[in-house]
Structure 1
């Protein structure tokens, strides 16, 4: 049965040799010794080994984990007891004093001289006829306050190190506590309970029982009444400092220990279950049973690790294929592998799809659907156009004429800049899709491909050049989509409402607004005084306009349809001259009689013409020097206001039509000209650029770090297979 311990030791040795701790990768069953400083951990180990081999002194002495493997020599062996260090594989230490010195020397070499700790373990194997097969790990003692030049967080460092070891499910915790302190305050038992609350894999050791105050004992603890543990407690009596100074032999020390328990009134009933000899046997049987219990799980885990390591090793490639006879096929294989992975990342068929974040083609879809779509939706048409801008465009487009209908030229003039607002987010969409493809390119590459850094770099360069080649035509085409929309404003589009539809919508909106205003006025004390005044003013204004219109109409009917008829002139001609120039000049007029003069001066058309001339002269005298940017529309007419609202409504309607078109066409253009073109031509481009015999030697220069990693991986695989075979034979 002890062969299973030897099996674990061999696995641990090999794992440590190749730089991988067995406790990290396979969680090998082993006994972890935990206790505070001066709890007697070192004495416990020396009593089990029955040799003085551990450093002693004040403060922290054990500053690195010590992996101690005890191997029983055959009874017929004539060889003396000796020790071997994993870091000194060619030397056997027969002098255990030298073993102590080597531990101190290697601790200083790794952990320094400032009493700090290191996680790198020391591996020591002791061969002796007096030991039972065991694998134990001695850890630095738990401390509270840094001493001397120890790091300020030394307590936190040691607790973290201890927890890393005892948290592993396959470890057995050997919790050492001194009997001359309250067991309820034992640091080792507190940590053990933290990771093993049920106490199933913790064995307690109570040291220094001979130093307890007279009349007291630890019987309740040793029998499990005070602190129950499934594996129980074992009591020990350590060698005193005087015994160490006088070099008292281990045989005498163990005999003295047994006599103490047999003669002690409280402990003589449990003397057979106390002492270092019993502890060694108990640990051996516990470890053997624990290993045998864990062997099936270890076998299953090793099987899974073999499969994983085989897969990892395959990714590093076979070095045999770097030979001259296979270089061409290897390069072609790498090119195909890279192109396939690039295409699979875009299509979403890659076997290594991330479950944590969007990747590959999914990110391009997100750009189209979310980023680009939201960017277009965020554009508010006409937000940069004021009502005065629209009035100016309307007036400028009509020139000296008065428009009878909505001027189309003003609509064309104003809608094109709004369409141009779509150009920037469209080009930005192209750039973002290009960046995602570049990211996909840089993330492609298996471990086998990473063997050849120059080849991988060249692959990225070729695909990047291809993407840059396609970026220009794609951006140009997308820009041309905006140019096409600006080139022809299609007011016959089936979704465009036209002037009639827009007018109907405006009328509906105005009616709703009027009804709302009326309701609001009625809610506030019926009809207000202000409304009454405004209504009266409006009524008076309409009355004056009607009177004036009636007067003009009446005068026109009295003097003929075309104005007054004057002697010596035709009615139409005279009416025209009177309207614009106030009649003929005095020097050109014939001599008129008194009645004719009276008729001329009382002519209402002439009077109205004089009024218009006076107003024009007054206006131009005051406003002829108006600067650009001054308000021309302080007194805009209702007709102009209606035209402004109508033009704004038409611009928004047409912009929304174009926005939908651009939102549909830009992703299609990017997919056709950039994404699909690249994914379909990437392999041909890679082959044409890199499959050249003169490049093979340079491209297939293997990275030394990858070669070393492949060697390590192969060694691990061999060890896993060997361990699996041994465990399979043992089950």
Structure 2
């Protein structure tokens, strides 16, 4: 009687017990599959693992990988983010006139004229200054290459951890693959940097003032300058005879008003010249002659007027004091002073031209650098990765060494196989008990 009760109790517990055994058997079967079967054809196994890694690496870049990361951007998505967010915003944050002071602009203008006083703003000064500003785009461009290179290094680890678990069986093969891919990336880095450097050098080699966008900007600038010139001329008093203009109501000589206005007009004419305006040459020469007469008159008036001397602004070149020796070999030291109307206009024109041309170059760099990185680094690695791995690793002398399993892996496989056999035997015994009829 007790035996029968025991057997009935065992039979009632069998369904739950069998379910637990089946669950454990499935787990150990999956574990054994992850360990892989013992390698029989090492040559085929090595080629298969190399091909699979190369495929997963390329798929991660293309965004078609089997294991997609959900916690952060990786692979091709991160490269896209670097191009259009990190690199793009960095370029947009670069000030076209950053690090460029008014004194720098005036010094460049004077240096470009040499020993001759300038009637017009020399175009050489614009080229000198704009090249200095364009050169600042090289550093963020090279940093973009570095960030993409780092991301392609991270893809190696991503593929090793998520996509190719079989590589964990063969640690030497895994290390060899990482070394080959890292070497390929390292080899392409200086080539890509050189191309990016050349892109900036190309922009520096020839300042194209005939660029359509730059020509449009110059045209708008000329229209604005001409409008300002007309407004200033309209605000000037009516012209008076030359003899009367040199006498004040009290009979004292005074500086002619038309000389200042002529200097202003001359300043606008010079700006129009550098911006590419093409006015009437005869009118321009006449204006220049008037400007020289006005400046000579103003110079004579300053010598006879003490009030003008008190209001005179120090020159950019430091003036020696009376009673002190003058050393002409000393380098002139710029001092803070108020700019003249012409100097202000010249600086404003140069700044506008630099900004307009800098924006054109920045757009070119923002478009060409990602293309260069994709061609010389990303696409080159994608196209040559598998052939590089096969050429470096698929050799008969390396088969045994690369496909050597770790001792822990072999031991774990044997333990999992023994446990799976035991569970299968237990499931078979339970099935036999359920088929037994107890009376």
Paired position in structure 1 for 2:240? none
Paired position in structure 1 for 2:379? 676
**Match of residue 501, structure 1, among 214, 220, 223:** 220
Question: Whose Rg is larger?
Answer: 1
Q: Partner of 1:429: helix, strand, or coil?
A: helix
Q: Partner of 2:212: helix, strand, or coil?
A: coil
Q: Is the 8 A contact 1:499 1:646 kept in 2?
A: no
CA separation of 1:360 and 1:307: change in aligned 2, threshold 3 A:
farther
Paired position in structure 1 for 2:185? 467
Return the structure number with greater helix share.
Answer: 2
Q: Does 1:457 align with 2:172?
A: no
Q: CA deviation at 1:456?
A: 1.2
Q: CA deviation at 1:356?
A: 1.8
Q: Does 1:691 align with 2:398?
A: no
Q: Does 1:328 align with 2:43?
A: yes
CA separation of 1:629 and 1:709: change in aligned 2, threshold 3 A:
farther
CA separation of 1:405 and 1:327: change in aligned 2, threshold 3 A:
same
Q: Is the 8 A contact 2:254 2:301 kept in 1?
A: no
Q: Does 1:348 align with 2:63?
A: yes
Q: CA deviation at 1:414?
A: 0.7
Paired position in structure 2 for 1:549? 256
- Structure 2 CA distance, aligned partners of 1:667 and 1:388? 36
Correspondence list, 1:150-189, <5 A = none
CA separation of 1:401 and 1:608: change in aligned 2, threshold 3 A:
same
Q: CA deviation at 1:351?
A: 0.9
Structure 1, gaps ≥5 residues long: 1-71, 76-130, 135-283, 512-541, 553-578, 580-603
Q: Does 1:700 align with 2:403?
A: yes
**Match of residue 210, structure 2, among 471, 492, 495:** 492
- Structure 2 CA distance, aligned partners of 1:719 and 1:382? 78
Paired position in structure 2 for 1:630? 333
Q: Does 1:314 align with 2:10?
A: no
- Structure 2 CA distance, aligned partners of 1:509 and 1:666? 40
CA separation of 1:375 and 1:74: change in aligned 2, threshold 3 A:
same
- Structure 1 CA distance, aligned partners of 2:106 and 2:367? 33
Correspondence list, 1:320-719, <5 A = 320-321=39-40, 326-445=41-160, 446-496=164-214, 497-504=216-223, 547-549=254-256, 608=300, 611=303, 622=321, 625=327, 628=331, 630-631=333-334, 634-715=337-418, 717-718=420-421
CA separation of 1:706 and 1:73: change in aligned 2, threshold 3 A:
farther
CA separation of 1:494 and 1:701: change in aligned 2, threshold 3 A:
same
Q: What does the per-residue CA deviation read over 1:36-90, in whole Å, with 9 as the maximum and x for residues that have no partner?
A: xxxxxxxxxxxxxxxxxxxxxxxxxxxxxxxxxxxx9948xxxxxxxxxxxxxxx
Q: CA deviation at 1:477?
A: 0.5
Which structure carries more relative contact order (alpha carbon 8 Å, separation 6+)?
Answer: 2
Q: Is the 8 A contact 2:50 2:389 kept in 1?
A: yes
Q: Is the 8 A contact 1:314 1:448 kept in 2?
A: no
Q: CA deviation at 1:412?
A: 0.7
Q: Partner of 1:390: helix, strand, or coil?
A: helix
- Structure 2 CA distance, aligned partners of 1:704 and 1:361? 37
Q: Is the 8 A contact 1:506 1:646 kept in 2?
A: no
Q: Partner of 1:444: helix, strand, or coil?
A: helix
Q: Is the 8 A contact 2:217 2:356 kept in 1?
A: no
CA separation of 1:672 and 1:363: change in aligned 2, threshold 3 A:
same
Question: Please, which moves more after superposition, 711-720 or 463-472?
Answer: 711-720
Q: Is the 8 A contact 2:39 2:45 kept in 1?
A: no
Q: Is the 8 A contact 1:503 1:646 kept in 2?
A: no
Return the structure number with greater strand share.
Answer: 1
- Structure 2 CA distance, aligned partners of 1:461 and 1:341? 17
- Structure 2 CA distance, aligned partners of 1:510 and 1:720? 99
CA separation of 1:551 and 1:320: change in aligned 2, threshold 3 A:
closer
Q: CA deviation at 1:664?
A: 1.1
Q: Is the 8 A contact 1:335 1:687 kept in 2?
A: yes
- Structure 2 CA distance, aligned partners of 1:366 and 1:510? 48
Structure 2, gaps ≥5 residues long: 231-246, 260-291, 310-317
| TM-score, normalised with respect to structure 1 | 0.43
CA separation of 1:610 and 1:419: change in aligned 2, threshold 3 A:
closer
- Structure 1 CA distance, aligned partners of 2:177 and 2:427? 41
Q: Is the 8 A contact 1:391 1:640 kept in 2?
A: yes
Q: Is the 8 A contact 2:60 2:76 kept in 1?
A: yes
- Structure 2 CA distance, aligned partners of 1:641 and 1:437? 50
Q: What does the per-residue CA deviation read over 1:458-505, in whole Å, with 9 as the maximum and x for residues that have no partner?
A: 111111111111111011101111111111111111222444423556
CA separation of 1:465 and 1:307: change in aligned 2, threshold 3 A:
same
- Structure 2 CA distance, aligned partners of 1:318 and 1:695? 20
CA separation of 1:426 and 1:621: change in aligned 2, threshold 3 A:
closer
